[in-house]
Structure 1
Amino acid sequence: MSEEKVHDRVDDGEKVEAADNSSVSALISKARQEGLKPIFLAKVEVLNHAIAECGMGRYQWELFFTAGFGWFADNLWLQAIAILMPSIANQHNFPDYSSNIRMATFALYVGLICGATFWGMTCDVIGRRTAWNATLFISGIFGIAAGASPNFVTLGAMLALIGFGVGGNLPVDGALFLEFLPGPYQYLLTLLSVWWAIGQVVGSLISWVFLAKFSCNADLIGTLVNGAVYRCDNTNNNGWRYSYYTMGALMVVMGVFRFFCFPMDESPKFLLSIGRDQEAVDVIHRIAKKNKVKSNLTVQHLLDAATPYLEPGSEMPQVKFTTWGLLVNGLEHLSFDNVRGLFATPRLAYSSSLIIFIYGALGLAYPLFNAFLGAYLSSREKDTGNTGIDATYSAYTYQAACGVGGSILAAAMVQWSRTGRKFSMAIFTILSGVFLFALTAARTSVQVNALVSIASFWENAFYGVLYGYAPEVFPTPRRGTGDAFAAASSRVTGLFAPIIAVYSNAGKTPNGPVYASAAIFIFTGLTMLGLPIETVGVTAL
């Protein structure tokens, strides 16, 4: 062999080695930026490639369908309490609407806080699948029980327990769906919010049907009818009970359908994060089989990817837990390691803090208007000359249906590189506030219905983007914890909506909470422009 060829091969080898060293350095830098261990990040990149090879097939579409159940349930219950509250307030021996009946919303939000925190954090400990299988059943069982409540205290307790189950849906279902998606299809996490809007529509229709047929006449309360004092009780005011029975049963059916008809696998990225590499590989092969493709991923591929990041002389860490060992290890993680991981770098700390603030601000603004929308519409419809339950709930159904279009628009916009996630949700949020301000000046029934519907369109659009954006920003080992903190922040501030409605002067007029909600939306939309991370075109870790 000539001396020149030998030198050429040596040069080529040096170039390859330099390229390898460069890629290793780049990954280490990326891991530091995200607050992750380089070994885990190297394995995740291999896993992301394997998921991309499996493609967007039957497995992911089934998951889109069943993950949607959780989002459906979240908004169904949030809106049901707003729709049913005026009818419940007419019930004999229950607080009337002008007093503490609106504190039922407070009870629901207490449960939502506990549920979001518990399910969101434990899904980083014992996996996503436990919460996935439990939350719908919990909300369904206690939803049925709420319909049988003999008094207001029992109703409040049942609503809190409904909230405990429902609270886990958004942080867990979104994180799990994201972790099965190929990178180019992550926009479907935004489209998942269409189920949130559908839940609002279904909740409105169920309530409308039963309240229209099985509600008492509130105008007759306290008057003499056929020689007796008229009151609303279990003989003439069971519409709200039938609504709770129906929605609770629907949750149970969805839970059964999810558990038995479309059983899901544990997230492969979660399995990697706790060292169960073989199980993660097995999940990838099941995805490939259902999608009718072939995957060549093996544990050796993961080990090879991680090898360059081992300390000299050290062996590859092997982690295999028994059920008890996994629980003990998870409890160690709850010693704020996952929480600290959300703030591991200045960039991540700023991003996490801003997301939690945005969730909290919107968590106050949204229920200030929407949690009392039924009463607001009833008041405004009377002001514009429309009376009767059909006028109120037809308006409620119109605005709920418009939210579906907002979710679809959001899914389209987040893929457009000129807008991306941040700018899209900022514009959507600001427009929500603008149309709510316009609503306060509406003078006719048509104007009220149109402006409420348009505001609902933009609200569902920004929530769709936000609930897709946050899980993309939080890395896998802390994704559930990050989503839990964000969701809990939203629920904590939501607690103040009924307090403001009951005790503040602003809450004593129909437009007071609307002004407050609109102002918060606009301010929060401007704040979103300061988010440091744009996730369009980036595969989640």
Structure 2
Amino acid sequence: MWLQAVAITLPRVQRHFDVSNQWIGILCSALFTGMTFGSFFWGTYSDSRGRKIPYTMTLLITSFFGILSSFAFSFWSLCVLLFFLGFGVGGNMPTDGALYLEFLPKEYHYLLTFMSVFFSFGAVLASVLGYIILPSTSCPEPSITDPNPACDVATQNIGWRILLFSVAVITMLMLAARSLWLKLPETPKYLLSKDRINETIIVLQDIARINGETVSIDRSDLPNGVQRDKSRLPPTEAAEEEAFLQVPHAEGGEEGLTHPQHRRWSSEYQNGGYNDHEPEDDDAVTDKMLSELYDTRSRNSLAILFSPKWRRTIILVWCIWTFTSVAFTMFNVLLPKYLETLGFEGEAAPTLKDVYWEYMIYSLAGVPGSVMASYMIETRLGRKGTMALSAFGSSLSLMIFSAIESRVTMLLSSSAVSFLATLLYAVIYGYTPEVFDTSVRGTAVGSASGLGRVAGIVSPVISGILLTIRPVLPLYVSVVGFSIVGICILLLPYETRGRPQED
């Protein structure tokens, strides 16, 4: 939502602070720079300290600096405020995605892809607000009788401030909903990977209780692997563990889960629901899982990502995120500016209302992309086929857009780009945390998202420069970018549809 809001206000901010075409892209670059640092910081933080704190803090930071940005007194102060705003926005993807995925059984993993539909709803909401607010609260438009109308930007060009403030208030409402309504505990997978066994048991008990079950756990219920490796715990945690085991807990009634049932359920839950078959030996399975977790504790997450198992995957995923960001940002960020300067022979120049109406249709076209993605990834196409199809389709649509001859053709081709690019992002968003293990998931998603943000930093500036040379040049870069993404997708070694997850 924030990226769309900034893109929509770009021409209005340019007029307000009298910024040239060459440098106006710095505003989006500042936002992407903050998102880059946020992705790396919060992604790594979530792997080392947990998913729960970033779940709330990222929205708090975003809403706070969103409100401040609406009161910016200069172009550079706005850039600084958007940097800190981006620091919060950038942390949402790696932390929220990992937290959501780790509470989902395997058969519901498609919901992570479906969740990206809210990105599209956010873009639509920002576009609707822009359509309602900006035309009547911006500088007067040029006309035949007055090609250069006078404008007092302090009083007449305040629409961009109102829009940024409105989006910040909406973000604050989301923060309130997370804090007061959608209270989520730390994920059992994360707690188990950090040997916090007592907290893991408590969370599993709470989950069972929410689902109308009662779980009884005592010392004899703990797998042998946990008891054997308890010596690896720090002294304070070992003491807490011993004290916890001495406390009696709720006994399961006739409708509660018996000991074997609980152990089987928790084992499948910890594995994301991937195991559809009955384990041959629950203790052996759990011991093996814990052994792998202990072996990776002393290893840095990035070092694990560059091990033979993950090296090819992480490099290709990084390329996919980077070139997708380049291609989409080149087209998306400066589209409102592009639409305002676009004219066709025999057609009247577009008004601001026309421009924001067309941008709203462009945003709306992306909504079914997320919904379609959640269906397509479960077909024979799988994750890889769906991503490749949408990447090459986006490239083709942009080629058509660059050769447009009428505003109708432009609207149809840009809507196709919105639909396919949103579909692509939806699957990338779900595939990236799904393909990696719990111990490196946050770092993998955070670093991939961060590199995408780095590309987002450079793209608006380059796009602005290319726009001054020839308006169609950014479109050509986008065409090449999406083609490279499609090739990288075809080279990915893992298809996660129906693939057992190794957590």
Please classify the TM superposition score into its range, dividing by the shorter chain length: 0.7 to 0.9
Q: How much has 1:211 moved relative to structure 2?
A: 0.3
Report matched runs for 1:195-344 at 5 Å. 195-219=118-142, 230-295=150-215, 301=221, 303-304=223-224, 317-318=232-233, 337-344=300-307
State the alpha-carbon separation in 2 of the partners of residues 495 and 253 from structure 1. Answer: 28
Query: Is 2:32 aligned against 1:122?
Result: no
Query: Cα offset for 1:510?
Result: 2.6
> In structure 1, how many angstroms separate the alpha carbons of the residues matched to 2:105 and 2:231?
28
Say whether residues 1:522 and 2:483 are aligned partners. yes
Counterpart among 403, 413, 423 of residue 366 in structure 2? 403
> Aligned AA for 1:422?
K
Question: SS where residue 532 of structure 1 aligns?
Answer: coil
Q: Deviations over 1:61-109 (max 9, x none)?
A: xxxxxxxxxxxxxxx1111111100011111xx1334242221011111
Q: Does 1:463 align with 2:425?
A: yes
Stretch of structure 1 that moved more, 466-475 or 289-298: 289-298
CA displacement 1:178-234 (0-9 Å, x = unmatched): 0000111101111011011111000111122110221111538xx899xxx823412
Task: Indicate if the aligned counterparts of 2:324 and 2:485 stay in contact, CA closer than 8 A.
Answer: yes
Matches of residues 362-381 of structure 1 in structure 2 within 5 Å?
A: 362-380=324-342
Q: How far apart in 1 are the matches of 2:236 and 2:497? A: 36
CA distance in 1, matches of 2:212, 2:178: 22
Contact kept? 1:275, 1:320, Cα under 8 Å: no
Deviates more, 1:472-481 or 1:176-185: 472-481
2:394 match: 432
Distance between the aligned counterparts of 1:279 and 1:421, measured in 2? 34
Q: What displacement does 1:285 show?
A: 2.2
Post-superposition shift, 1:297?
Answer: 6.5
Q: Which runs of 5+ in 2 are unaligned?
A: 241-295
1:240-270 Cα offsets, whole Å, 9 max, x none, are 0000110111111110111112211011111
Are residue 98 (structure 1) and residue 60 (structure 2) matched?
Answer: no
Give the Cα–Cα distance (whole angstroms) in 1 for the partners of residues 58 and 353 of structure 2: 33
The Cα of 1:464 is off from its aligned counterpart by 0.5
TM superposition shift of 1:119: 0.6
Stretches of structure 1 lacking an aligned partner (at least 5 in a row): 1-75, 326-332
- The answer to whether the 8 Å contact 1:500/1:507 transfers is no
Aligned equivalents of 1:230, 1:336: Cα separation in 2: 63
Q: Separation in 1 of the partners of 2:434 and 2:405? A: 43
Residues 334 and 285 (structure 1 numbering): CA distance in 2 closer, same or farther, change over 3 Å? closer
Q: Which residue of 1 aligns with 2:76?
A: 153
Partner residue in 2 for 1:29 = none
Distance 1:363 1:389 in 2: 27
8 Å CA contact 1:141–1:249 kept in 2: the answer is no
Q: What residue number does 1:80 align with? A: 5
How many angstroms does 1:299 deviate by?
7.1
Change (3 A) 1:175 1:298: farther
The amino acid across from 1:356 in the alignment is: W
Q: String of CA shifts for 1:395-451, please: whole Å, max 9, x gaps.
A: 1111111111000110001111x1111111111111011101111111111111111
Mark the CA change 1:249 to 1:523 in structure 2 (over 3 Å): closer, same or farther: same
Q: Confirm whether residue 139 of structure 1 aligns to residue 62 of structure 2.
A: yes
Structure 1 residues 299 and 471: CA distance shift in structure 2, 3 A? farther
TM-score by length of 1: 0.77
Superposed CA deviations along residues 457-479 of structure 1, whole A, max 9, x for unmatched, are 00010111111001011111111
CA offset at residue 382 of structure 1?
Answer: 6.2
Q: Please give the alpha-carbon distance, in whole angstroms, between the structure 1 residues aligned to 2:69 and 2:297.
A: 33
* Separation in 2, partners of 1:522, 1:299: 56
CA RMSD, aligned part only?
2.4
Is 1:412 the counterpart of 2:375? The answer is: yes
Q: Is the Cα–Cα contact under 8 Å of residues 431 and 522 in structure 1 kept in the other structure?
A: no
Q: Deviations over 1:319-349 (max 9, x none)?
A: 5767xx9xxxxxxx999711101122x2311
Change (3 A) 1:500 1:285: same
> Match for 1:521: what amino acid?
F
Equivalent residue for 1:454?
416
Task: Give the letter aligned to residue 110 of structure 1.
Answer: T
Identical positions, percent: 32
Question: Alignment length, in residue pairs?
Answer: 442
Q: CA deviation at 1:508?
A: 3.2
- Write out per-residue CA displacement over residues 147-183 of structure 1, whole angstroms, 9 at most, x where no aligned residue: 1111111101111011000000111110110000011
Supply the AA of the counterpart residue of 2:11.
P
How far, CA to CA, are the matches of 1:319 and 1:425 in structure 2? 44
Q: Is the 8 A contact 2:323 2:484 kept in 1?
A: no
Structure 1 residue 317, shift from structure 2 partner? 3.6
One-letter code aligned to 2:138: S
Distance of aligned partners of 1:509 and 1:302 in 2 relative to their CA distance in 1, 3 Å threshold: farther
Match of 2:14 in 1: 89
Change (3 A) 1:214 1:295: same
Equivalent pair of 2:117/2:371 in contact (CA under 8 Å): yes
Alignment of 1:185 onto 2:108? yes
Aligned amino acid, residue 387 of structure 1: P
How far apart, CA to CA, are the structure 2 residues paired with 1:482 and 1:189?
A: 16
> Which of residues 483, 499, 502 is equivalent to 1:538?
499
The alpha carbon displacement at 1:374 in A equals: 0.8
Alpha-carbon shift at residue 315 of structure 1 (Å): 6.0
Structure-1 separation of matches of 2:99 and 2:377: 20
Corresponding residue for residue 508 of structure 1: 469
Give CA deviations for 1:266-298 in whole Å, capped at 9, x if unaligned: 111111111111211221222222233455677
TM superposition shift of 1:509: 2.7
Structure-2 residue corresponding to 1:350? 312
Counterpart amino acid of 2:26? M
Residue 443 of structure 1 corresponds to which residue in structure 2? 405
Cα distance in 2 for partners of 1:304, 1:537 equals: 30
CA 1:269/1:104 → structure 2, altered by over 3 Å: closer, same or farther? Answer: same
Deviation at 1:305, TM superposition (A): 5.9
Mapped pair 1:360 → 2:285: no
Question: What amino acid sits opposite 1:450 in the alignment?
Answer: L
Compared CA separation, residues 82 and 319, structure 1 to 2 (3 A): same
The Cα shift of 1:362 comes to 1.1
Please report how far the alpha carbon of residue 512 of structure 1 lies from its aligned counterpart in structure 2 after TM superposition.
1.3
Shift of 1:381: 5.3
Pair 1:359–1:320, CA change in 2 (3 A): farther
User: Residue deviations 1:456-510, cap 9 Å, x none?
Assistant: 0000101111110010111111111111110111011111112212334x65333
